[in-house]
Amino acid sequence: MTETPSQDLEKAKEKAREEEKERQKELEQAKEEARKQALDQERARQKNKGGSGAVKVIIYLIILAIIIAVVAWLSLSVTVTNVAPGVSLPFTTTYGVSFPEGQTITIGNIHINVLSYQNELISDIDGVRQKQVVGEDRIISERRAVITTLGAITLMDTNFQINLKYTGERDNRAYFDLAVHTSQQVPDILLKQLLPAEIDARPI
């Protein structure tokens, strides 16, 4: 049966509508796909941004910790006072030290001046003079040392006593084995805060 022109036209219109629907469907799919990609990209960007922010926070915290440590170190304060003897001093740390002759050196509140003469050494400690020969000890009476930082935080509070054993003289410097007896275990880094750089204290 032969189709009439009007039927052919109707079929053409129907086909055009089907094609238009198909194009609309493909367009919607493309839009949906683009929207999903945009969402995925945004999520990835936010994730990267969040990770970057966490790294920045960690870096800032590390820098802050370093600044606090430096300030704490620079604000270390040592206070030495006289105390009555009698506290047990079971811990001992020994250093090899050398004192420049004729120069007063201060350890806490202790003032030490040494001068060699022939085979003897005259040590003046807080105005009290005593002769020493090689191998002889001189004991400095017990004291209390408190090291604080940031004006209020106590890092060390211990009684201590110093024993100086004269070991000889050379190049205008008097050499000693210096033993520090303390009432509690004290880290070397804090104990050396008591000892001035002029005596070049080295653990032995």
Residue 130 shares a structural domain with residue 111: yes
Residue 136 shares a structural domain with residue 67: no
- Report the alpha-carbon distance of residue 111 to residue 126 in Å, rounded: 5
Quote the tokens at residue 2. Answer: 């032969």
Residue 87 shares a structural domain with residue 178: yes
* Segments forming the whole domain that contains residue 107: 77-203
Strands of 105-107's sheet in order across = 105-107, 110-117, 120-125, 128-133
DSSP code at position 170? E
Residue 50 shares a structural domain with residue 87: no
- Considering 51, 74, 97, which residue would you say is the last residue of a domain? 74
Which of 137, 141, 150 shows the shortest CA–CA distance to 109? Answer: 141
- Considering 74, 100, 128, which residue would you say is the last residue of a domain? 74
Residue 89 parent element (H or E): none
**What are phi and psi for residue 110, nearest 5 degrees?**
-100, 130
- Report the alpha-carbon distance of residue 84 to residue 87 in Å, rounded: 8
Residue 121 shares a structural domain with residue 197: yes
Q: Enter the pTM of the model.
A: 0.65
Residue 5 shares a structural domain with residue 96: no
Residue 60 shares a structural domain with residue 99: no
Question: Beta-carbon neighbour count of residue 79 at 10 Å?
Answer: 12
Digitized pLDDT (tens) for each residue of the chain, 204 residues in all: 555 666 666 776 677 677 778 878 887 887 888 788 878 887 877 766 655 677 888 998 999 888 888 887 777 888 889 898 888 999 999 999 999 999 999 998 999 999 988 778 999 999 999 999 999 999 999 999 998 888 788 888 999 999 999 999 989 999 999 999 999 999 998 888 889 999 999 998
Residue 62 shares a structural domain with residue 117: no
Residue 154 shares a structural domain with residue 85: yes
- Considering 45, 74, 103, which residue would you say is the last residue of a domain? 74
Q: Domain total for the chain?
A: 2
Question: Beta-carbon neighbour count of residue 158 at 10 Å?
Answer: 22
Residue 83 shares a structural domain with residue 133: yes
Residue 38 shares a structural domain with residue 81: no
DSSP characters over 73-84: HHT-EEEEEE--
